[in-house]
Amino acid sequence: MNLHLLLDTNGRIRLVSKFKENFLGHQHADFTGSFIQDYLSAEDAQPLLYFLKTASAEDTIIRSALSFKTHNATTAKVEITLTCLSDNPTVNGIAASIRNIVTELPGKQRSAHAINASFYINHPLGILQLNKTGEITRVNTQLLTDSGYTLSDIQHKPLLNFILPQYRYKALRKFVQACNQGKASTFDVEVFKAGDGILDVNLTMVAVLFQNQIFEIHVSIKNITERLALQQTLKKLSIVADKTTNGVVILNPNFRVEWVNDGFLQMTGYKYAEVLESKISQLLKLETLDSEVLEDARQKMAKGVSVEQEMLCYRKDGTTFWNLIKATPIFDDLGKLERYIIIHVDITEKKKAEMELRLLADDLYRQNKELHQFAYIVSHNLRSPVANIVGLTNLLELFKDDADVHGQTLKKLIKSVNNLDAVIKDLSYILTVNNASKDLFKEPIHLQDLLHQVLIDLQPIIVHTDADIMLPPKPLVVHTNRAYMYSILYNLISNAIKYRSYQKPHVKIDYYFTEEHTIIYVADNGKGIDLDKHADDLFKPYKRFDAKVEGKGLGLFLVKSHVEAMGGSLNLKSKLNQGSTFYIKLPLG
């Protein structure tokens, strides 16, 4: 009577054939989970353990006259046959057959056949038994379920009848090897189902020995239709992923790279070996990304939600590109996270187009606003001198014979013409500033040197008011237009002195940096501005907020225009009677 076991590579007994009694006296529960070497002497166990560790698929070893411990602490002489079934993903172990070579008697072959059959009766795979002529003698319920046949359709029929013709030679060769050499094998074939269907299956053939003779063949049959369909799908997806210009990355649950396609390598400049096992955040240098954004994305994906984010990423050579990242979490049937699939789309050109469109819209908005301002200037500032000129011209005609009136009128006419000329010059200068931003020449400017030049030109008013001017303690070089920067600083410092309070004028100029900008600020202790009242008119032309101080009301308008022409922005913080601080924000570089 043979005892059949299924072992792992360490010799642990994973499965035991069902039996009512056995020559070793052990109970079924005694065997399961124990190690086969525990029942053998060290000398007898050594070659078997070596086989367990080194055997390849279909290898077989037979060891005879081994002393095997029985339940009552005696030993029995046995023959052990080990067959490696590592190619079968369902079994993935070593089949062991133990035969009593002393007490086993001829004539028990039929009993052994029944015991072997009981091993497979409730097996989750389809199992059939073949005699040495290749006819099917037994099948289990699972095989009938998978194939759709009845027992009468299959029993006592040759196995080859159910295998498609192109696979019959392979199956016959494996059957002959099992019968003649006791060689186990596993291979894929297509078989006929009941009706007109065809089933993709994996067959594993194992020879069963009785008294050192092969008397039947056991065949396990696994339906691999879904596996092959999945392989075909994965193959197609692999072709698509490999040929697409977008980057495709598969990450493990720790966000380390398992696989990337050529599109990702071309996008980032890395080689395949360089990215494997690396963290995607390190490859694309996303460490500086807002941690809250990353944590929010992780929490969403942990709940099975895909996320999409536009990010500025870095290539291997340090150049940047805009990347639309679409991340999808993949879970197994038990809901455990297996991996992430990340799609990378280079949207640099799209972002450039968006930026150009935004700049165009901003430029159109600015020009429209300037057009309204220009219309206002024309309608208000030109109207008065033109009306005066028209009126004075009429007076000259009326009083052409009165020398005194004629002379006075002519003086007033000349003054009105000069006023008109001044307004036209102002308008011309304003238009020049507004249209200069595209072709504006920029150069490295040493801020301290420029400030010293401004202070020299403002020396008379500084001396007259005893103004205290504080310059930046550290040098600064900005890449900008010298004339515009000079005009900005000149206007802001002179305004700080002109609009001084009762205190001695104190003006501080300094700077600081943000990630993308240089901020230069000019702070004073002057009268300040009521922003609640004048905020809307603050930077409009010809707007004045203190009638006691001489001026046209163009200074802040020109400062703001100059700053914007250089690609920057101007902001103000001020409170009435508490001074003002102007912030000039210029782009780095």
Position 344 pLDDT exceeds 80:
yes
Instruction: Note the pLDDT of residue 582.
Output: 92
Range of 67-71, 141-145, 229-233, 340-344 with top mean pLDDT: 340-344
Q: What class is the 114-228 domain?
A: alpha beta
**Closest to 199 (Cα-Cα) out of 166, 164, 168, 230:** 164
What is the distance between the alpha carbons of residues 496 and 444, in angstroms, rounded to a whole number? Answer: 26
Quick check: do 2-104 and 443-587 share a fold? no
For residue 215, give the 3-state DSSP assignment.
strand
Average pLDDT of the segment spanning 255-271: 90
Position 369 pLDDT exceeds 50:
yes
Instruction: Note the pLDDT of residue 490.
Output: 86
What is the distance between the alpha carbons of residues 164 and 411, in angstroms, rounded to a whole number? Answer: 118
Average pLDDT of the segment spanning 328-347: 88
Question: Residues for the chain: how many in total?
Answer: 589
Q: What is the pTM of this model?
A: 0.39
CB 24 within 8 A of CB 68: yes
| pLDDT band at residue 435 using 50, 70 and 90 as cut-offs | low
Instruction: Note the pLDDT of residue 104.
Output: 47
Position 280 pLDDT exceeds 50:
yes
Instruction: Note the pLDDT of residue 288.
Output: 61
Query: Which percentage of the chain shows pLDDT scores above 90?
Result: 19
From residue 512, how far is each of 43, 515, 517 by CA, in Å? 82, 10, 9
The CATH number corresponding to 2-104 among 3.30.450.20, 3.20.20.120, 3.90.79.10, 3.40.50.740 equals: 3.30.450.20
Give pLDDT tens digits for 41-85. 888 888 888 888 888 877 888 787 788 888 776 778 788 888 888
Position 437 pLDDT exceeds 90:
no
Position 570 pLDDT exceeds 60:
yes
Range of 123-127, 278-282, 397-401 with top mean pLDDT: 278-282
Q: Which helix or strand (DSSP H or E) is residue 38 part of?
A: none
Position 105 pLDDT exceeds 50:
no
φ, ψ of residue 70 in degrees (nearest 5): -100, 180
Range of 12-26, 46-60, 305-319 with top mean pLDDT: 305-319
Instruction: Note the pLDDT of residue 197.
Output: 85
Structure tokens at 583: 């912030």
For residue 568, give the 3-state DSSP assignment.
coil
CB 7 within 8 A of CB 94: yes
CB 211 within 8 A of CB 106: yes
Residue 524, CB-side half-sphere exposure with 13 Å CA sphere: 27
Instruction: Note the pLDDT of residue 544.
Output: 67
Average pLDDT of the segment spanning 459-469: 89
CB 44 within 8 A of CB 67: yes
Range of 14-28, 106-120, 201-215, 266-280 with top mean pLDDT: 266-280
Beta bridge partners of 210: 213
CB 212 within 8 A of CB 194: no
Instruction: Note the pLDDT of residue 202.
Output: 92
Provide CATH code, domain 240-345: 3.30.450.20
Give pLDDT tens digits for 497-532. 888 888 889 999 999 998 889 999 999 998 888 888
Position 164 pLDDT exceeds 90:
yes
Range of 29-38, 117-126, 361-370, 443-452 with top mean pLDDT: 443-452
Average pLDDT of the segment spanning 278-285: 87
Domain covering 352-435, topology: Helix Hairpins (1.10.287)
Provide CATH code, domain 443-587: 3.30.565.10
Q: To 5 degrees, how large is the angle CA 553–CA 558–CA 561? A: 140
Specify the DSSP class assigned to residue 208: E
pLDDT: is 324 or 137 the higher one?
Answer: 324
From residue 258, how far is each of 236, 249, 251, 407 by CA, in Å? 19, 8, 5, 96
pLDDT: is 241 or 441 the higher one?
Answer: 441
| pLDDT band at residue 170 using 50, 70 and 90 as cut-offs | very high
CB 217 within 8 A of CB 128: no
Regarding beta strands 307-314 and 320-331, do their DSSP bridges make them parallel or antiparallel, or are they unpaired? antiparallel
Rounded to the nearest integer, the mean pLDDT of the chain is: 81
The domain limits of the chain are 2-104, 114-228, 240-345, 352-435, 443-587
What is the distance between the alpha carbons of residues 538 and 155, in angstroms, rounded to a whole number? Answer: 100
